[in-house]
Chains A and B, each alone.
Chain A
């Protein structure tokens, strides 16, 4: 379900707080169905906080977030999840007291049309062999695959991924890149937080640059090469 502008997700003047600390200062962005959009920005820019606000985990937030035709600014995280939004959190959020299989099967099915377990094992063959291991005994890369795999089952069509490549070896980063491209082919809509903009450029349609809790620029992926200098400036690399 998209709104008049054709967007699955439209964020207007999003403000967010951790207790008294005001972190998001009026974010504006939109994501069309089937798009892969990244949030780029320096450490502490507010990327994770934006993801938490979209998912409804950041309790104190104002402004407007319209997702799949519903205003979600006042909804609880579990209600937003039920609309078909899923999170692959920073630090992966694998449960130590659950086996790999239990971690994989934990998120309840939200809608029909999720990716079946067999197809998940095709995407991530490592997981099949480790099903009975304790979740946190997996390598960092395997944990990241598990964090992605478990939300693919649910039938959610929008996935928020917070730095899925952080700290991973190049081959694993490539595997995650291929997975994201496969998901895009299958029509998933993805918001991706990335530090590594080479990786971002290989998978995304558009990029938002975030600084101090605001979107300060928007760059189409095709324009990225031409804007490299500017981007280096934004990211301080």
Chain B
């Protein structure tokens, strides 16, 4: 007689020598990290597609998102749910100003200048926040509606972490839908391919570019608000994360929206699994994969060959 399924699963884990709690715990952590990788690399991909600029300020803008949520709460008493909307709007607006005043002057030059400008901006923004708030990190409470968690039998799922994964998925897929399936997205895709011709049809391409940058920045800020209750709000939170996100983007390939999403979540999971089976490699596994992908498929897993 075959053993019952639960028995089978337990036997499997015993064979691997891994308690299921640890495995699922790490997978969940991987999914959480993957959510942030996906949200951030999605914004980078959208910006790069239309502006041809690698937005090095992305990590700083993610950090700003978390800080603006913290400020809204601590200075004027606006809580998490409103911050989820207001912070991306505020930080996105700063993105619009930055694009209009600075980035737009660089389109005629080599891509490298945009990279240098946004890198410089990142350092300035991080420096300003460090100066004001120090580096010890500020706490941000999980909203009361999402406190606590669920016992799923095989693991304990904190509600807030479940929310982050679901919200990220919904945001990523909605963004994908708008870009790949709507009329607005068709303008964006067309302008990514041939902005001159789209302009010659009477479309205001410079305005589209500005709004797209603002949108990408707002996505980073939204990720920052989601992150605030998990990680402490800290001027360096973006700088640490963005290096990994750039590796994710290189692995996924720059131009692809769905590629950014799948690679983001996928690599989060891979990282989590590595932490279970070979913890020593968990902090470098993404970079090892990046090196391999660069050697085998330089345009990235989902990238179009140039």
Contact = CB atoms under 8 A, between A and B. Distances in A.
Contacts of A154: 201-202
A117 interface: no
A97 interface: yes
A57 B190 contact: no
Main secondary structure of the interface of A (DSSP, over half): loop
A22 B187 CA distance: 33
A93 B199 CA distance: 13
A110 B199 CA distance: 13
Interface string A79-105: 011100011010001011110001001
A108 interface: yes
Q: Size band of the B side of the interface?
A: 10 to 19
Contact of B200 (A77, A96, A98): A77
Main secondary structure of the interface of B (DSSP, over half): helix
Interface in B189-221: 189-190, 192-194, 196-205
Contacts of B105: none
A107 B198 CA distance: 8
A105 B201 contact: no
A105 B202 contact: no
A106 B189 CA distance: 11
Interface in B49-91: none
B202 A110 contact: yes
A45 interface: no
B18 interface: no
Given A102-B186, A105-B186, A106-B186, A95 B194 contact: yes
Given A107-B202, A110-B202, A97 B193 contact: yes
16 contacts: A76-B199, A78-B201, A78-B204, A78-B205, A80-B200, A81-B200, A87-B200, A89-B197, A95-B189, A95-B190, A95-B193, A96-B193, A97-B192, A102-B183, A105-B186, A106-B187
Interface of A: 55-57, 76-78, 80-82, 86-87, 89, 93, 95-98, 102, 105-108, 110, 151, 154
Q: Which 4 A-B pairs have the closest CB atoms?
A: A81-B202, A107-B201, A97-B189, A77-B200
